[in-house]
Amino acid sequence: MPLFLNDEQTMLRDTARDFVSENAPVAHLRRLRDSDDKTGFDRALWKQFAEMGFTGILIREDAGGLGLGHVEAGVVLEEIGRNLSPSPFLTTAVAAVAALHNTAQAERWFPGILSGETVAALAIDEGAKHRDRVALRAERAGNGFRLSGAKQFVTHGHVADLLIVAARTGGSDDEAEGVTLFAVPADAAGLTATPERLADSSVAARLTFEGVAVDADAVIGEVDAGRGPLDRLLRAGRTGASAELLGVGGGAMDMTVAYLKQRKQFGTLIGSFQALQHRAAHLYAEMEVARAAVLKAQQLLDAGDAAADQAVSVAKAMTGLATTLSVQEGIQMHGGIGMTDEYDIGFFMKRARVLAEMFGDTNFHADRVARGRGY
C-alpha cells in the first residue's frame, strides 16, 4: 500500500475539511470559551458529525457504520486539529469504539454513537503523566463489581453518557495482567465528576469512584483480560491524537507562513529574511516527517500488522516534537501580536500542549520505543 492517501481517502478529507472549517472554525472555540460554556463542546455539532457519518467511521458496516479504518478516522481528526474544533470525536468515535469493537458491549453503545446521542469519555489516567499503571480497584460484589479509586484528565468526563474505565481485578498496580475494562453509565451511584477547565478551554474531569456498583455485563471483553480492549483503545487513541496534533501543527504552520508573506518590517516582507525562511523550512521538514509517521502508524494499525505498536509510539512522539516546534515558532514569528488573546495563534499553542499530554507524551513514547527494542 503506497504511503499516501488514496482517491477515496482524499475525497473524505475534502469533505471533512469543508465540513469542519465551515461549522467549527477557531471562531467556534472562541465563542464557546467566551460564553463560558460548561460542556466543552457543542452537542448540536456532534449530532451533525453523526449525520455526516463520521461517528461511524470505525464501526463495522453490519453494525451500521462505515467500516473504514484509522487512516479515515485520522483524516477527520486532522481537520478537527487544524480548526481546533472542540469535539468528542477522538474519545467516542475512535478510542471508545476501538475498545468496544467485537465485544458484547458494542451492541448496547454503538447505536447511540452512530446517531450522535452518546458521548464517551476515557477514565484511564491516574496521575498527571500518562502511565500503564492501573490502581483503581474493582472488587467482586454479588452479581457484579464495586469500583473504588480515582481517575483524572478525563475529557468530557462530567458530561459523558458512557465512561470507559480501566480497573484492577487482580495483580499489583504496575502489572499488565489483572486489568478489567468496564463500560460505566455516567449516572452510576457513587461516581463523582469534578470538571476543570484546561488551558485550551476544553473541560476534563477528575473522577472519584466510591464503591460504584456495576453489573457483570458492564465488563468489556473478559475479566482480568482487559489489556486486549485497553490496548486497542490506547493504540486508536494514540494514533488519533497524533493525527489531531498533525492538524494543530499544520494549522499553526500555515498561519505562520501566511503571516510571513504579509507582514512588513524595515520596509520589506519578513518572509524574505533568510533567518526566518530557514526556520520555516526546517519546521516544514519536521511536519512532513511527522505526517509520514502518522500515516505509517494508521496503515499498519488497519492492516493488523505486529509492527503497528512501535509505529504508534513513533507517531505520537514525533507529532509531539513537530507540533510543539510549530506552535512555538508560530508565536515567535508572529511577534507581539502572537501573544495577544485576540489573535488565534495562541489557541494552537494551548491545544498542542493538552494533546501532547494525552495518551502519553514524547518522552513516554520514546521510552516505549526503547523498551520495545530491548534497551
Span interacting with another protein, options 112-120, 286-294, 332-340, 353-361, rule CB under 8 A: 286-294
Nearest CB to another protein, comparing residues 38 and 264: 264
The set of cell numbers assigned to 241 is: 491524537
Contact call for residue 263 and another protein (CB under 8 A): no
CB of 176 to another protein, least distance (A): 15
Contact call for residue 374 and another protein (CB under 8 A): yes
Size of residue set near another protein by CB under 8 A: 46
Span interacting with another protein, options 65-73, 186-194, 195-203, 313-321, rule CB under 8 A: 313-321
Contact call for residue 315 and another protein (CB under 8 A): yes
Nearest CB to another protein, comparing residues 118 and 362: 362
Span interacting with another protein, options 60-68, 166-174, 215-223, 271-279, rule CB under 8 A: 271-279
Contact call for residue 238 and another protein (CB under 8 A): no
Contact call for residue 172 and another protein (CB under 8 A): no
Sign for the CA dihedral angle at 250, 56, 90, 159 comes to positive
Name which of 232, 251, 229, 246 is nearest 356 in CA terms: 246
Contact call for residue 317 and another protein (CB under 8 A): yes
8 Å CB contact between 93 and 114: no
Span interacting with another protein, options 55-63, 149-157, 195-203, 366-374, rule CB under 8 A: 366-374
Separation of alpha carbons 198 and 272, rounded Å:
37
Nearest CB to another protein, comparing residues 172 and 272: 272
Contact call for residue 71 and another protein (CB under 8 A): no
CB of 358 to another protein, least distance (A): 18
8 Å CB contact between 329 and 283: yes
Contact call for residue 5 and another protein (CB under 8 A): no
Contact call for residue 10 and another protein (CB under 8 A): no
Separation of alpha carbons 233 and 246, rounded Å:
20
Span interacting with another protein, options 132-140, 155-163, 206-214, 314-322, rule CB under 8 A: 314-322
Contact call for residue 275 and another protein (CB under 8 A): no
Contact call for residue 76 and another protein (CB under 8 A): no
Contact call for residue 295 and another protein (CB under 8 A): yes
Span interacting with another protein, options 55-63, 94-102, 308-316, 338-346, rule CB under 8 A: 308-316
Q: Which residues bind another protein (CB under 8 A)?
A: 2-4, 257, 260-261, 268-269, 271-272, 274, 276-278, 280-282, 284-285, 288-293, 295-296, 310-311, 313-315, 317-318, 321, 362-363, 365-367, 369-371, 373-375
